[in-house]
Amino acid sequence: MGGVSVPQLDDLDREILRLLKKDARLTISEIAERLNRPESTIHFRIKKLMERGIIDHYTILLGEELKPKKTALVVIQAETPIIEDFLERYVNHITRTLSMLPNVLFVSKSGRDTVLVLIGEENEEKLEDFINNNIKTLPTLKSVYVYPLDDIRKGEDVIGFLAEV
pLDDT tens sequence for the chain (165 residues): 555 555 678 889 888 888 888 788 888 899 999 999 998 998 998 898 888 888 877 766 666 666 678 889 999 999 886 777 788 889 999 999 999 988 898 999 998 899 999 998 889 999 999 999 999 988 889 999 999 988 877 877 777 666 665
Residue 94 class from Cβ within 10 Å (0-12 exposed, 13-18 middle, 19+ buried)? buried
Q: Looking at the structure, do residues 3 and 31 belong to the same domain, yes or no?
A: yes
Domain that residue 11 falls in: 1-59
Q: Look at residue 65 and tell me if it is in a domain.
A: no
Q: Is residue 64 part of a domain?
A: no
